[in-house]
């Protein structure tokens, strides 16, 4: 049920949005700006269904980038990390502790939605396809491209820490 919900919202919502607006975009030579997540690129533990849905948004965007070139429709995909949003209003995670942890990450982010929007606007103006608004996200993506095993090891360590019994 959680997988169906994540795929329906986070992947199929984007697919349906692209389908709905594509006829207009082809006439106007417009832009598609899909919102994925760093989870699409980093695959953090305990979020498999979300990671897969957001990775699907990246794959869809890569496909459209190529397929729509002839129609002069530009395609961009944004992969933000945590920033201040109302994400917790619809959050579905495996445990209440995870929801609390995500809440802390959202609240502690120094980057606002306005900052993200400004960055996206600037990167689209440069013609960038992959838009990574967070500096740490850009560094993590560069690391994964250069040495993916190092990142996989880090994610495994994170997962092990999440599974470890907590002592008081």
Tokens 């965007």 map to which residue? 61
Print burial letters for 16-30: b (CB count within 10 Å at least 16), e (below 16). Answer: eebeeebeebeeeeb
Sign (positive/negative) of CA torsion 34, 80, 99, 110? negative
Q: For residue 62, give the H/E element and its range.
A: helix 48-67
User: Catalytic: 50?
Assistant: yes
Instruction: Give me the catalytic one of 50, 119, 121, 152.
Output: 50
CA distance 81 to 1: 25
C-alpha closest to that of 37 among 110, 124, 108, 132: 132
As a whole number of angstroms, the distance between CA 51 and CA 82 comes to 14
Q: Map tokens 């933000």 to a residue.
A: 80
Which residues form the catalytic set? 50
């Amino acid at each position: 049920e959680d997988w169906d919900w994540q795929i329906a919202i986070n992947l199929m919502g984007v697919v349906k949005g692209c389908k709905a607006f594509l006829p207009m975009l082809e006439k106007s030579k417009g832009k598609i700006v899909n919102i994925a997540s760093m989870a699409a690129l980093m695959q953090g533990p305990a979020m498999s269904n979300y990671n897969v849905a957001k990775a699907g948004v990246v794959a869809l965007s890569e496909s459209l980038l190529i397929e729509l070139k002839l129609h002069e429709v530009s395609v961009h995909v944004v992969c933000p990390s945590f920033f201040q949003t109302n994400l917790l209003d619809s959050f579905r995670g495996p445990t209440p502790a995870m929801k609390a942890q995500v809440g802390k990450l959202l609240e502690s982010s120094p980057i606002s939605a306005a900052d993200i929007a400004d960055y996206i606007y600037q990167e689209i103006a440069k013609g960038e396809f992959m838009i990574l608004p967070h500096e740490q996200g850009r560094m993590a993506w560069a690391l994964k491209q250069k040495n993916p095993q190092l990142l996989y090891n880090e994610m495994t360590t994170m997962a092990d820490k999440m599974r470890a019994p907590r002592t008081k």
